Amino acid sequence: MSVISLTPPALELEIRPLGGRIGAEISGLDLGQPLDNRTIAALRQALLQYKVIFFRNQSLDDHSQVTFARYFGELTSAHPTVAPPADHAAVLDIDYGRSPSRTNFWHTDVTFVDRPPLGSVLRALELPPTGGDTLWANTVTAYSDLPPCLRALADEAWAVHSNAYDYAAAALSPAARAFQEKFSATRYETLHPVVRVHPETGERGLFLGGFARHIRSLSTTESAEVLAMLQSYVTRPENTVRWRWQLGDVAFWDNRATQHYGVYDYDGQARRVRRVTIAGDVPVGVDGDRSEAIEGDSSGYTPRAA
């Protein structure tokens, strides 16, 4: 497996690693101010190394959040199926306290399209007095943890990801059912490699999460068992970091090498965040083959690479 090789940053950043395998807090930067190329390069390098980076005591609004995210690439629209606020097409407003929407499952953002985001920038607007943390997991170290026999299986496997919802498998409130129907009104399905080669570092990581429905060429039962086994390596505690939010916090994660989980332990209290996503490329497996869209046209969500 290729190992990330990083040159010393051009700019000294105050970086405090949060876990042995993932996560770092960066201090001494005002993300609302213009950033020079040296600072942008140093932040990108920190993102590649730590997978998710955090900033406290920021005062971003929609405009400055979008400006910051654009330093790292073109932006997607807010979401393939969920409408953005009226004033900004790139911002996804997520009001967990007033909405039946939940993200308390492990997932990588928007993997049901053929070009999932490169990364996501999230800021907190409202928070409960306790609870509402978010966990992130390093999918690269998860892959490294696999014994050789499972690694060989994962290297060859491809999985179908979809936003379709199995209503028969869950008892939903009317509001939750309405949200899920809206979320999956336009159906997307994409075939992705179970092991994705990172386009910048060459690292291999498990590319799974909550939108991975089944593995190609396996039965439903076999798929469920293999997906659960591989996913269990992602969520091992040693591969995770937990962030306790404060107002003004910003999280920026590499969507190509992580999964995350929003902990729902605040019982309908206020928790509101806004997310901006950076456009990514088509995932590539260890054999060089690229992901393929099966159903749904995502061209209105993410820019197409030249």
User: Residue 182 — very low, low, confident or very high, per pLDDT cuts 50/70/90?
Assistant: low
Which H or E element spans position 141? helix 139-145
Enumerate domains of the chain plus CATH numbers.
14-295 (3.60.130.10)
pLDDT surpasses 90 at 196: yes
User: Active-site residue 192, yes or no?
Assistant: no
pLDDT tens digits for 106-138? 999 999 999 999 999 999 999 999 999 999 999
Mean pLDDT of the chain: 89
The tokens for 24 are: 């770092």
| Mean pLDDT of all residues in 140-161 | 98
pLDDT surpasses 60 at 71: yes
| Mean pLDDT of all residues in 140-167 | 92
Cα separation values, 233 from 28, 52, 64, 128, Å: 34, 18, 37, 30
pLDDT surpasses 70 at 272: yes
Q: Which of 44, 123, 192, 260 is catalytic?
A: 260
What is the reported pLDDT for 89? 84
Selection from 280, 255, 259 nearest residue 114 by Cα: 280
Any idea which of 16-30, 162-176, 242-256 has the lowest mean pLDDT?
162-176
User: Residue 99 — very low, low, confident or very high, per pLDDT cuts 50/70/90?
Assistant: low
User: Residue 206 — very low, low, confident or very high, per pLDDT cuts 50/70/90?
Assistant: very high
What HEC string does 18-56 produce? CCCCCCEEEECCCCCCCCCHHHHHHHHHHHHHHCEEEEC
| Mean pLDDT of all residues in 97-111 | 82
User: Residue 80 — very low, low, confident or very high, per pLDDT cuts 50/70/90?
Assistant: confident
| Mean pLDDT of all residues in 214-241 | 97
User: Active-site residue 63, yes or no?
Assistant: no
What is the reported pLDDT for 305? 52
What is the reported pLDDT for 6? 44
Task: List the beta bridge partners of residue 273.
Answer: 94, 124
Residue 271 near residue 127 (C-beta atoms within 8 A): yes
What is the reported pLDDT for 263? 95
Q: Which residue has the higher pLDDT, 164 or 18?
A: 18
What is the reported pLDDT for 164? 82
Cα separation values, 177 from 89, 157, 167, 189, 239, Å: 25, 32, 8, 20, 33
pLDDT surpasses 80 at 15: yes
Question: E strands within the chain?
Answer: 14-17, 24-27, 52-55, 92-95, 119-126, 134-138, 158-162, 189-193, 195-197, 204-206, 212-215, 240-243, 250-254, 258-262, 272-278, 292-295
Cα gap 222→181, rounded to integer Å? 28
User: Active-site residue 107, yes or no?
Assistant: yes
Q: Which of 109, 114, 249, 254 is catalytic?
A: 109
Residue type, 147: P
The tokens for 200 are: 């910048």
What is the reported pLDDT for 98? 67
Q: Which of 107, 151, 161, 256 is catalytic?
A: 107
User: Active-site residue 198, yes or no?
Assistant: no
Any idea which of 59-73, 76-90, 193-207 has the lowest mean pLDDT?
76-90
What is the reported pLDDT for 232? 98
Cα gap 260→110, rounded to integer Å? 12
User: Residue 104 — very low, low, confident or very high, per pLDDT cuts 50/70/90?
Assistant: confident
